Amino acid sequence: MDQLLRAVGGISASLDEGYSRSSGPERAHYYEYALGSTRESRGWYYKCSIALPQDVMLARLGRLTEIVRILTAIIPRERAMGTRWRTRREKP
């Protein structure tokens, strides 16, 4: 159970850290960590399925699957992006 809590906590921690980065490749790096934690969490929920009510497990697995879909769409776009901030010399 401890590992499940760490994996779930790792999702938001990686998303928070990645969102604060100024370049797409840096954000993608942390979003990949979040994706790994999400997949790990999903695996732990499958393993814990006998200890949880079915409706709770299905809701959590559904939410984690949605996070996987979102991250697998965002990561390639972030990798392709440049820096978020412009210098004074750059024009919009």
Contacts of 53 (CB under 8 A, 6+ apart): none
Q: Write out pLDDT tens, residues 1-58.
A: 889 999 999 999 999 999 999 899 999 999 999 999 999 999 999 998 889 999 999 9
> Domain with 24 in it: what CATH number?
1.20.1440.60
Residue 52 lies in a domain: yes
Say what the pTM is. Answer: 0.83
Residue 48 lies in a domain: yes
Q: What are residue 23's phi and psi, to 5 degrees?
A: -120, 150
Range of the domain at 65: 2-80
19, two tokens: 């969102």
Q: What are residue 14's phi and psi, to 5 degrees?
A: -70, -40
**88 near 30, Cβ under 8 Å?**
no
**What is the total count of domains within the chain?**
1
Residue 30 lies in a domain: yes
